[in-house]
């Protein structure tokens, strides 16, 4: 019987495997250096997660609290100090042989749950390389953007789309 897939915090020890997954999943212009990648993991409002089976990294999600409508440029090393108004989903990668197991869905759901506990009610992201359909399935929708925000989104490639979603809460209606 195969071991269960565990969703847990992304650790520094996961970094080499995560960087390999990133390189396999994205074109070179979207691959970030170790310092930029790792900076998201150590923010106070970090929701960076790992999907693992038997200690092996299967996929990861880089997400963190951030200022609304203000995506950091690709490759930026982040530092604490700004507002944590939304959950910014920066990056999601799953090993190609494991797609279809809903690992990405589980990573996103766990990040949403953690962010909701911390009072975040909205998530934002830039869907890259044709991923907008995937994110729509998870409740994200494209939004009208200002020219300044659109300029930032373009830095993520010609197919990039600005999207947002409400973070569900477990509060009774």
pLDDT in tens, 78-117: 998 888 999 999 999 998 766 777 899 999 999 999 999 9
Q: How confident is the model at residue 64, as a pLDDT?
A: 96
99 in helix, strand or coil? Answer: coil
CB-neighbour burial class of residue 151 (10 A; exposed 0-12, middle 13-18, buried 19+): exposed
Topology adopted by domain 6-166: Aminopeptidase (3.40.630)
Residue with the bigger pLDDT between 96 and 6: it is 6
Q: How many CA atoms lie within 13 A of 7 on its CB side?
A: 19
pTM: 0.92
Q: How confident is the model at residue 173, as a pLDDT?
A: 46
Percent of the chain, pLDDT > 90? 83
Domain boundaries, the chain: 6-166
Cβ contact 87:112 at 8 Å: yes
Question: Mean pLDDT of all residues in the chain?
Answer: 92
Cα–Cα distance for residue pair 145/127, rounded to 1 Å: 14
Q: How confident is the model at residue 2, as a pLDDT?
A: 55
Average pLDDT over residues 122-142: 95
Q: How many CA atoms lie within 13 A of 18 on its CB side?
A: 26
Residue 1 has pLDDT above 70, yes or no: no
Cβ contact 48:61 at 8 Å: yes
Could you give the C-alpha distances from 99 to 12, 46, 95, in angstroms and in order?
Answer: 24, 25, 7
Band the pLDDT of 171: cuts 50, 70, 90.
low
């Amino acid at each position: 019987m195969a071991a269960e897939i565990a969703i847990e915090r992304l650790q520094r020890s996961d970094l080499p495997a995560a960087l390999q997954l990133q390189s396999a999943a994205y074109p070179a212009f979207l691959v970030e250096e170790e310092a930029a990648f790792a900076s998201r993991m150590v923010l106070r409002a970090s929701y960076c997660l790992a999907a693992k089976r038997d200690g092996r990294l299967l996929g990861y999600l880089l997400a963190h609290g951030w200022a609304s409508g203000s995506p950091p440029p690709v490759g930026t090393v982040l530092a604490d100090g700004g507002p944590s108004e939304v959950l910014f989903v920066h990056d999601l990668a799953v090993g190609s042989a494991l797609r279809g197991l809903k690992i990405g869905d589980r990573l996103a759901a766990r990040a949403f749950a953690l962010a909701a506990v911390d009072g975040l009610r909205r998530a934002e992201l830039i869907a890259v390389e044709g991923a907008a359909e995937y994110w729509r399935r998870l409740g994200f929708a494209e939004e009208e953007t200002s020219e300044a925000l659109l300029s930032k989104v373009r830095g993520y490639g010609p197919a990039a789309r600005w999207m947002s979603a409400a973070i569900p809460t477990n509060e009774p209606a």
